Amino acid sequence: METKAGDPGAFAHFDLGRVPSPAFVVDEAAVRRNLAILADIRERSGAKVLLALKAFSMWSLAPLIDEYLDGYCASGLWEARLAKEHFRGPISTYSPAYKADDLAELSQILEHITFNNPSQIERWKSDSNQDIALDSLEIGLRINPQIPLGETEKYDPSQPHSRLGFPISQLKPEHFQHLSGIHFHNLCEQGFDALQSTWEKVEPFIAPHFASLKWINLGGGHHITRDDYDREALVGFLKDLKARSGCDIYLEPGEAVALDAGILVGEILDVFDNGMPVAITDISATCHIPDVIEAPYRPAMLGERSDGTAVRLGGPSCLAGDIIGDYILPVEPHVGQRIAFLDQAHYSMVKTNTFNGVPLPSIWLWNSENDELKCVKNFDWSTFRDRLS
């Protein structure tokens, strides 16, 4: 996958030596700018905008996010708990499947719950467990649009034999019996054209049931805060859909909230030659930026030059594939050199792990407008110890 990171913005002038290494640094001012764009879309279109916690769940910014958005969407019980404890506003949840104990607690937290197929709805509504209070919730069904538009198949919800959502080709009128809403999520860091193509595929299956539905959730993956996103087309589309359907329309952006709002700072620990310069950093692809391996993709580097000798950057773990990529560094590589990767506020922070006992990056909040910098989370070795037995 090609990174969608844009201009480094204020980070072009940030002194990487101000924080320990490794560290995530999130620019509060950049997050606010993204939120303001989303709030403008919301106000002009009449749609509701929820933060997808799976992409960005930095609850130290909850008061800021609460100012701009309508609520939060969770991918399961623990994210829903986080939203309930630290954020304000309604909470919705979608998961491919639910455990009974989780569902019992979720039914006390949520306003909307979305199931992966109609049989799940029937099973849980008929369950005799008195702790599962689905009658108090608005129930949604995730559908699979069956129109693959993603750059990488394994990241595409419409990939063949997808586990995400009920295939629209199998929808029947009786499947709408218990529904308050329809949900689909078919995008991954994409523009308005992908949403429009998805809706054109979906609408014939949904339009006959507009009158019985309260809401339509268009999911996430919308890169609304990217400079080249056609926001005017989005506003027009959302207003038209709301008017024609009579439904509330929801968006669930995640990365759009934190796009280009954070960096991951690291340090070079060693440099040697093995047919090309190789540098070991205290940033691990497998531990700190796992999408580098899973997607895969090459994160943009702050200050990377366009010509010169490329250096292979790798992490400190024992995994042979712990390779971030080949880069032409801002200066010749040397031990103690600070580097930073752009656009790391979303997904990277929520996916970190401690494989090999590699330490987790600390988390810092910076305000590029007043230069205030503070540590909001520091991890010691007990983080590694306490997840084991």
Range 99-121 average pLDDT: 95
**What does the pLDDT look like over 84-100, one tens digit per residue?**
999 999 999 999 999 99
Q: Is pLDDT above 90 for 382?
A: yes
Q: Read off the pLDDT band of 111 (50, 70, 90).
A: very high
Q: Is pLDDT above 80 for 6?
A: no
The topology (CATH level 3) of 46-258 is TIM Barrel (3.20.20)
**What does the pLDDT look like over 12-44, one tens digit per residue?**
999 999 999 999 999 999 999 999 999 999 999
- CATH 2.40.37.10 domain position(s) in the chain: 9-25+261-385
Torsion (CA) 137, 138, 144, 148 in degrees, nearest 10: -100
Q: Is pLDDT above 90 for 82?
A: yes
- CATH 3.20.20.10 domain position(s) in the chain: 46-258
Range 175-203 average pLDDT: 96
Calculate the CA 90 to chain-centre distance: 19
Q: According to the 3-state scheme, what is the secondary structure of the chain?
A: CCCCCCCCHHHHHCCHHHCCCCEEEEEHHHHHHHHHHHHHHHHHHCCEEEEECCCCCCHHHHHHHHHHCCEEEECCHHHHHHHHHHCCCCEEEECCCCCHHHHHHHHHHCCEEEECCHHHHHHHHCCCCCCCCHHHCEEEEEEECCCCCCCCHHHCCCCCCCCCCEEHHHCCHHHHCCCCEEECCCCCCECHHHHHHHHHHHHHHHHHHHHHCCEEECCCCECCCCCCCCHHHHHHHHHHHHHHHCCEEEECCCHHHHCCCEEEEEEEEEEEECCCEEEEECCCHHHHCCHHHHCCCCCCECCCCCCCCCEEEECCCCCCCCEEEEECCCCCCCCCCEEEEECCCCCHHHHCCCHHHCCCCEEEEEECCCCEEEEEECCCCHHHHCCCC
This prediction has a pTM of 0.95
Q: Read off the pLDDT band of 135 (50, 70, 90).
A: confident
pLDDT value at residue 81: 98
Specify the residue for token string 């997607």: 295
The topology (CATH level 3) of 9-25+261-385 is Lyase, Ornithine Decarboxylase; Chain A, domain 1 (2.40.37)
**What does the pLDDT look like over 214-229, one tens digit per residue?**
999 999 999 999 999 9
Range 256-270 average pLDDT: 98
Chain mean pLDDT for the chain: 96
Q: What percent of the chain has pLDDT over 70?
A: 100
pLDDT value at residue 92: 97
